[in-house]
Amino acid sequence: MNLILLSIATRYLMPVILFFSVALLMRGHNNPGGGFIGGLLAAGAFILYSIAFGVDAARKKLKIDPRSLIGFGLLTAVASGIISFFTKTSFMTSKWGEVHLPVLGEFHFGTPVMFDLGVYLVVVGVTLTIIFSLSELSD
């Protein structure tokens, strides 16, 4: 099946969807959004790509196995909690730091953002693993 309009729209929509998923990720620890909905949106971009171009093309576009994303995400989320042990505080206590970048200015980072990033990666990995597996079964 050759869906020209869908393939053209996907080429333009995918970067926009991925941008909004990262924007939701970055605003999530203080406002509505976060790793879960950002991850679902990012997975949706790759699902749209797989509908337009096929699962193999979507896997190549992703450039990493979705199961690896699950592992990296879990490692990142757990690492955000383990940091509190080194400061002798309760598990998952927030820790914040800042770095001054010459061109960009002050950059604040912390364990809540790190946890959200881990959730983001896990959600993308799990969703794409399920969808890609189901799509390959139907082919």
Predicted local confidence at residue 78, as pLDDT: 92
The confidence score (pLDDT) of residue 29 equals 66
Let me know how long the chain is. 139
Q: Which residues contact 97 (CB under 8 A, 6 or more apart)?
A: 108, 109, 110
pLDDT at 30: 67
Fill in the amino acid letter for 131.
I
Domain ranges in the chain are 4-138
